[in-house]
Amino acid sequence: MSLRALIIIGAFWAVLGPREARAEWLLTPFIGGAFGGGVAEGTKVDYGVSAGWWGRVLGVEVDVSHRPDFFAVDGAPDFLFSESSVTSVMFNGLIAVPSPFGDRVRPYAAGGIGWLRTRIGADADFIRGNNDTVGLNVGGGILGHLTERLGVRGDLRYFRNLQDLEGDSEFFTLGNDKLDFWRATGGITFRF
């Protein structure tokens, strides 16, 4: 076998060969904001938790988050969207992107499908509507490991439901509308 063939085989082995197995369970409580798209006005508070498993490159997670006062407008009368929220439960796939900083900093892409619940309520039944719809999210972020068991995570995702929202009022009907928005969050990650 020639030297050139040995170098090529060695290079393939170094890139594709077995490495130290590294899989970890992650739990990340987070807080941030929802903005753009269907957000009524400005940025709305968004909080939740994600839990998942990551191997060297691929992972899975469940992401649960809640956005109170999602449809509320500052300065609007109490009878208009006084109670509103959006809650999501998403099942996502994760793909780690190679990082020049090694394993301490892990950029990633994420995306998945799940459940979006919109709740729209107002005093005196001006408008009411609870919608359970199928939704999707795509985005990415960066996970930085501070210690063996603790890290920080920043995340940006786009959410969209796949079904129309519905709501009833004596004045109008909410329908034929899709909900979409962006979410930016930061959190502390616990590794197990």
Q: What is the pLDDT of residues 155-185, one digit of tens each?
A: 999 999 988 766 554 444 454 478 899 999 9
In a domain, 1, yes or no: no
Q: What is the pLDDT of residues 62-75, one digit of tens each?
A: 999 999 988 776 66
Q: How many domains, in total, are found in the chain? A: 1
Question: Could you list the mean pLDDT of each consecutive 10-residue stretch along the chain, which spans 192 residues?
Answer: 66 50 88 85 91 95 94 63 85 92 91 92 62 94 95 97 66 60 97 93
Residue 47's CB is within 10 A of a number of other CB atoms, namely: 16
pLDDT of residue 107: 96
In a domain, 156, yes or no: yes
In a domain, 9, yes or no: no
Cα–Cα distance for residue pair 69/116, rounded to 1 Å = 15
pLDDT of residue 91: 98
In terms of Cβ atoms closer than 10 Å to its own Cβ (0-12, 13-18, 19+), residue 34 is buried
- Check which CATH number belongs to the domain holding 139 and give it: 2.40.160.20
In a domain, 53, yes or no: yes
> In terms of residue numbers, what domain contains 183?
23-191
* String of DSSP letters for 164-190: -EEEE-SS-EEEEE--EEEEEEEEEEE
Cα–Cα distance for residue pair 82/84, rounded to 1 Å = 6
In a domain, 18, yes or no: no
pLDDT of residue 105: 93
In a domain, 99, yes or no: yes
pLDDT of residue 111: 98
